[in-house]
Amino acid sequence: METVEMNSVSLKRPRSEDDVANADEIKRQKILEMSKAGNDSGESIETVTEQPKDMKNEIIPNEESEEQEEEELEESDEDGDPESFADMMKHGLTESDVGITKFVSSHKGFSGILKERYSDFVVHEIGKDGRVSHLDDFSVPVDDEVNFEDPSEETFTVLSDEDKQRLEELQLFKNKETSVAIEVIEDTKEKRTIIHQAVKSLFPGLETKTEDRDGKKYIIAYHAAGKKALANPRKHSWPKSRGSYCHFVLYKENKDTMDAINVLSKFLRVKPNIFSYMGTKDKRAITVQEIAVLRITAQRLAHLNKCLMNFKLGNFSYKNHPLKLGELQGNHFTVVLRNITGTDDQIEQAMHSLREIGFINYYGMQRFGTTAVPTYQIGRAILQNNWNEVMDLILKPRPGAEKGYLVKCREEWAKTKDPAAALKKLPVKRCVEGQLLRGLLKYGMKNIISAFGIIPRNNRLMYIHSYQSYVWNNMVSKRIEEYGLRAVPGDLILKGATAVHIEEGDVDNYTIHDVVMPLPGFDVIYPKHKIGEAYKEMLVADNLDINNMRHKIRDYSLSGAYRKIIIRPQNVNWEVVAYDDPKIPLFTTDLDKLEGKPLPVLPADGKFRALKMEFSLPPSTYATMAIREVLKMDTSIKNQTQLNTTWLR
């Protein structure tokens, strides 16, 4: 799976003497920003002392369901003092815990704050044709044939300003009403139809029905998402000349791709599975990517721009095909590292090295989880067929950052080993712990395999892929330590889809950028030098047979693959700028350009300096690891939260 997620913490070294002069001002700014965190404004400021909290700034239909109650619980339980969070993260992972130990560059590291604002990190998808996705057009394509879902001009005038205000407040949950009644003055079927269409077109989160009240006809508008209306997309005619899929560019802020699609599906009253996309994008960022949806008109999608915060949809077109995961060349990143401490010379060395040499293609920290029980440990237990260990690792009490209800659930489990009792302590049932406990209730304690199978397949496979990543990280560190940054006999290169060994006489034909390392699994070969033996030794220590990675449960059989050791980013550019106000943006986004917002005028001698950097990466590579190479520092949440709270004091 493509991954462009980033840790939502700043990357910062402890203060040097050069930093002290600015410390009081910085501290004042940070405390001011902390007091603002959690408001409902789309311009909320993200602080350096990041807590595990992500605000939902767009409106989601107010379903009286377990799902929404759980979402509210998940958010409300995440508040807390940043320094307390840092204390909890003392039990988290560091880079060295997952094999990330080497650098390829020789420059001296320096400090910089990543994602002081989520808008400091922007991702644009690169399609398989090499085109970078941009949001630069809100217009709707015109068809030769008219579809009944495309509203007429009368649709926009049939509702009074007062009706529109009441409907908007209903859609955005700004009042306590559960419905809005609109009297039909001219009671004809045609008039009622136009009002129905107007409400559904202008307020996509609402459904309508007709009612008689005291001898008068009323159109009643109400929220329907999550009820029967969600079961099937509304059937309608679709012009034969129009492609079945509407492709559009999704611009989103501070939301991951699946959450965004869930919100769109609720407002459109359709199932999420009619949407398709090429890759998942980071939550704590501004991201721009292509989405396709089956038989939903561009006009309906465009209306969502009027009622969704932090999302914008545009660049609409109709095509005959959906999108497929992995059908992309990669992603283009625009990143701001604020309050950098490096000299101009250090920055030049770091960025030249990134462009010319690249960075070690490690799997980033988000691959391994943030708690005291790494995901790779659970993956290893699955591969060992040790199901009691799997159950224990997921459910046992653990030190570190945990929500209160999870702590109570784990304590109950440790005390009683009763899934029903533990489940009662857990209001959020959709988490992995809740799903496993439900499985144990259904299948019994003697059938852990079936109980574990209740967890969604992608989540289950995440564990074993995490173990593969853990092995790969450790082995690539050992490979670089043993042989450095050169190709050597016995290394592996790809010829097409096939891996072959570099022979003694051919070694001069290849560089380190050609070398790949295997992810352990069946049908792969290993290097013919010390690292090949190191793979075997590592798996033997984990009671696994490197020559037999097939599992009796087919899903958990590890298929192997190959991954480049070093990635050299493309389109690398950078600039150092000065600024005074930590809250101002340092570049314009696609939306800023569409809205005509100018870039703030920056002072030539501002109090702070920022490094603006751009680069393109292929799929399945981690931008965090590129930034790690530039700053020369540990990107783990454990390390960063400790540094940040020290810096705040």
Q: What is the DSSP letter of 233?
A: P
Q: Of 270, 262, 172, which is closest to residue 228 (Cα–Cα)?
A: 270
Bridge partner residues of 566 (DSSP): 360
Closest C-alpha to 192, from 220, 161, 215: 220
Q: Is the dihedral of CA 396, 397, 399, 402 positive or negative?
A: positive
Taking each helix axis from N to C end, the angle separating 161-171 and 189-202, rounded to the nearest 10 degrees, works out to 50
Identify whether 282 is a catalytic site residue: yes
Strands (E) across 187-233 are located at 206-213, 216-223
What is the spatial distance between Cα 412 and Cα 495, in angstroms, rounded to a whole number?
A: 54
Please give, one letter per residue, the 3-state secondary structure of 459-490: HHHHHHHHHHHHHHHHHHHHHHHHHCCCCCCC
CA 288 to chain centre: 12
- Looking at 54, 120, 282, 590, which residue is catalytic? 282
Amino acid sitting at position 110: F
| Helices marked H in 418-456 | 419-424, 432-443, 448-452
CA 5/CA 644 separation, integer angstroms: 20
Residue 420 three-state SS: helix
Distance of CA 259 to CAs 52, 282, 309, 513, 633, Å?
Answer: 17, 11, 13, 36, 31
State how far the alpha carbon of 429 is from the alpha carbons of 70, 104, 410, in Å.
8, 44, 14
Give me the active site residues, please: 282
